[in-house]
Amino acid sequence: MRATDNQGSFLNRISIRRNQVVSMDNNHEQELEDIELFQKHVGDRFADLLSPAEDTSVDALLSIAWLRKILDVFLCCEAEFKAIMIMGRDPSQISKPPLDRLLHELLDRVVKTLDVCNAVSHGVDAVRHFQKLAEIAVSALEQRPIGDGQVRRAKKALNSLAVAMTLEDKDGAVGKSTERAWSFGRRGGGGGAVNKDRNPGNFRPICWNMAKGWSASKQIQAMSSNLVAPRGGETLAVPIYISSMVMVFVMWALAAAIPCQERTGLGNHFSVPRQLSWAQSMMGLQEKISEEWKKKEKKGSAGLLEEMQKMEKLAQSLTEFADNFQFPAEPERLEEVENQVAELAEICKKMEEGLVPLQQQLREVFHRVVRSRAEILDALEQGGKSSASIM
């Protein structure tokens, strides 16, 4: 990934510069140059995520592969931000107003980010449940000749899938439907088809349960409520603002794509600054995702994940076939169903291959921001002690 290459050279350059003895003027000029380069990297990375819909060579917006890319972007931006703010820097430079206040506001967003990661991780487990129910339907409808028994089994799985998706999106607590609609038994007999290849460790959320009143929508709103673009003065306020915007945007996109607890009105909580060049692609992505969210709210589907939306449409069509099935089925209809089953099987394969790495990246983001928060707090504490000793 080109962003990773840029990040490596950028971090190496900062490391070399900070180890050199340079004048205050030169150091300030280099800092401005580093911040300018950071802004360029952020703009380039989000431009790569904003690809034309007709370009079939790139990953679809809000697909599993696309979400993995945006998490890579988050990790790259986070590493570069930390390099600018604390790598080889005298802590006293960031422990004075207004930077100390801005950094504490950023650290508060980090805590809320950890909550969103928890909720999304739990949501991934729900998506995995959808996948397993769809696989049962696929297995039944792939049988030849297809008869009443296979159709009944597929219909049962498809009905459970419809119930699960509805509950995940509207119950206000992701995971309830995973318990209630597990029609084929997770804990005992009859559950072999669901449990096959299931490793509980791979899909255990970072924190299994969210608080009853927790809301993904309110969490994103709180993260963006005091987020104001700097108007000049303090140079280092710029990367703090950029890092905060990236954090809020990525968490917002994840919460929109993956079933999360209470997401009402998620599409309207924060604005991306139009006047900043690095934010143009981010703004374009926000507009696209918001449009998809409006469609979602009208039809009541369970999240914007590309694979999940396709699964939902195919499941509805196959349920209609199962409801009206009479043996023997018409050859034309059987051919149509065969194509739909093959497409659903391909979606299940993408989920099987992509959900584990996605959850691993969520864990990496979680642990990375925990470490970064500790490092920034340590730098602020050291800077405060230095200032106190001078006084």
Mean pLDDT by 10 residues, the chain (391 residues): 58 57 64 95 95 71 96 97 91 92 96 96 95 97 91 96 79 47 36 38 47 90 92 88 97 95 81 89 94 76 86 96 87 92 97 96 97 95 71 50
Residue of 255, 230, 20, 244 lying closest to 115 (CA atoms): 255
Three-state SS for 358? helix
**For residue 23, how many other CB atoms are within 10 A of its CB?**
8
Q: What is the number of residues in the chain?
A: 391
Q: Is position 7 within any domain?
A: no
In this prediction, residue 383 carries a pLDDT of 87
In this prediction, residue 181 carries a pLDDT of 38
Per the structure, the count of domains in the chain is 1
Crossing angle between the packed helical segments 148-170 and 99-141, to the nearest 10 degrees: 170
In this prediction, residue 390 carries a pLDDT of 53
In this prediction, residue 16 carries a pLDDT of 52
Q: Is position 12 within any domain?
A: no
Q: Which domain holds residue 299?
A: 62-86+98-390
Q: Is position 93 within any domain?
A: no
In this prediction, residue 201 carries a pLDDT of 36
Q: Is position 261 within any domain?
A: yes
Q: Is position 286 within any domain?
A: yes
In this prediction, residue 248 carries a pLDDT of 97
Q: Is position 38 within any domain?
A: no
Contact 107, 377 (CB under 8 A): yes
Q: Is position 273 within any domain?
A: yes
Q: Is position 15 within any domain?
A: no
